[in-house]
Amino acid sequence: MNFETKTPSAPLFLLPKLDLSDPQSQIILDRLNDYAEVFRALGQNSNIKLLVAVTESRGGPSVHREYSGLQISVIGSNPVNFLVGIFRLFPSSEIYSRTLIAGDPVYGFLSGLLLKVVKSRNSKLQLQFHGDVYTKNSIHDFKSFVRFFIVRISLRLANSVRVVSNFQISELRSLARIGTQFIVAPIPLNYQKIPVDPQTNRSGIGIIGRLHPERGTREFISIVQELRSRRVFEPVYIIGDGKDKKFMIDELKKLELFDEIYFLGNLGTDELRDKYSKLKIILSCAPTEGYGLTLREGALSGAEVVARKSAGSVEALSEFEHSLHLYETIDEALSLIVEALNKTGYHYSNIDKIKIQKTIEYALVSEWVSTW
């Protein structure tokens, strides 16, 4: 499939890390399709489509489907050969996409930079930051150090930067070149995950998200250890997957804490909505947050959310002050968890809050789309 056109058109999303063989890719493509609908509504051409370049490793069952607002091409089987394969789409000397959007600040940025230098000098290059990969706190090993170095370079070369929270602008502005445009556009919540009219009869503590070091997996184990030492045996449900899963299982077994700890893996939308409707507490130990999707989903679902204090969680607190509780030390986390467990249930409708969130998100996404 060829992305070339005679006139400037939709932006080209460069997503080297989006693998069509991964079932989770459908979630991202659905989201991009929603953005396409906004893009078309704001423009003159109701038939225009977002251009999307992805990979496919064929390591699993691929789910190919048509998207009304996307024109998708598969470029290679991994992020590395994506950098070479991207040029196969553009056999002539120039392309006309007015904005090249790097889906990640490393491979996406490098492929966008190559295209801009070689074939699309008039295109603007836009970066996206969903989390902290640009401060020294993001460095955990050699691989993350290399990523950090490339990200710092990307910020000096980008025309615009899309972030998901306001606080990120103050963190990034000094790292970018003068005149770089910043746009705040959070990832919209998936409202199918959120139960309407949450009920009162709840139990259990939930950890939801990627099981990676930057999500505070080691601190989570310390919290569980302290809870058990204080004779708090509330069941804990770990929802998600990642490279720290084996470490967490081994450590919990070594500390003899594995009873009433349940690893559920990645759940589908319906299963996750069911869990959100039943969990008493959502616990987040991440030292940094971007938009805090899980924090907001948990708060809208009627759970008590206990999260480590960070710029992102403080921003979420302004919207959910009654159900979001922030800690700075493990002792504070324990106190908040015990207090939440002892809290008597209440029943409320979250329909109005959902409407407010949707209105805010649509306005911010529209502002982002207008920069393309």
pLDDT (tens digit, 9 = 90+) per residue, 286-318?
A: 988 878 889 999 999 989 999 999 988 998 888
Position of tokens 């009627």? 302
- Output the CA–CA distances (angstroms, integers) from residue 116 to 59, 87, 158, in the order listed: 31, 11, 11
Q: Does pLDDT of 258 surpass 60?
A: yes
* Residue pLDDT, tens place only, 232-250: 999 999 999 988 999 999 9
pLDDT band, very low/low/confident/very high, at 86 (cuts 50, 70, 90): confident
Contact 126, 163 (CB under 8 A): no
Domain boundaries, the chain: 12-184, 191-350
Residues 6 or more apart from 63 whose CB is under 8 A from it?
A: 20, 23, 25, 26
Q: State how far the Cα of 127 lies from the Cα of 100, in Å rounded to an integer.
A: 9
Q: 223-235 pLDDT, tens per residue?
A: 999 999 999 999 9
Q: What percent of the chain has pLDDT over 90?
A: 44
Cα Dmax for the chain: 69
What's the confidence (pLDDT) of residue 345? Answer: 61
Rg (CA), the chain: 22
46 vs 281, residue with greater confidence = 281
pLDDT tens-digit map of 181-197: 999 998 888 888 998 76
- Identify which of 56, 92, 91, 50 has the alpha carbon closest to the alpha carbon of residue 72: 50
Specify the pLDDT at position 2. Answer: 43
Relative to beta strand 181-184, strand 160-163 is: parallel
177: CB partners within 8 A, 6+ apart: 155, 156, 157
Q: Which amino acid, 224?
A: V
Q: Which DSSP letter does residue 88 get?
A: G
pTM for this model (two decimals): 0.77
Give the span between the Cα atoms of 11 and 96, in whole angstroms: 9
Whether pLDDT at 222 is above 90: yes
Of 69, 49, 37, 66, the C-alpha closest to 9 is 49
* pLDDT score at 348: 59
N- to C-terminal Cα separation, the chain? 22
Contacts of 352 (CB under 8 A, 6+ apart): none
CATH superfamily of 12-184: Glycogen Phosphorylase B; (3.40.50.2000)
pLDDT number for residue 64: 61
Record the tokens describing residue 220, joined without a space: 């989570």
For Cα atoms 348, 307, 218, give the angle at the middle one, nearest 5 degrees.
140
C-alpha torsion angle, residues 258, 259, 265, 270 (rounded to 10): -160
Q: Do domains 12-184 and 191-350 have the same CATH topology?
A: yes
> What's the pLDDT band for 347 if we cut at 50, 70, 90?
low
Higher pLDDT, 66 or 184: 184
Q: What is the mean pLDDT of residues 207-221?
A: 92
How many angstroms separate the CA atoms of 234 and 227, rounded?
9
Which residue pairs, CB below 8 angstroms and at least 24 apart, start in 152-159? 154/102, 154/105, 154/106, 154/109, 154/113, 154/127, 155/127, 155/180, 157/113, 157/125, 158/102, 158/109, 158/125, 158/126, 158/127, 159/124, 159/125, 159/126
Mean pLDDT value of segment 55-79: 80
What average pLDDT does range 334-356 have in this prediction? 82
- In the predicted structure, residue 162 carries a pLDDT above the cut 90: yes
Per CATH, the architecture of 191-350 is what?
Answer: 3-Layer(aba) Sandwich (3.40)
pLDDT grade, residue 93 (50/70/90)? very low
Q: How many CA within 13 A on the CB side of residue 367?
A: 15
CB 20 within 8 A of CB 64: yes
Q: How far is CA 298 from the centre of its chain?
A: 15
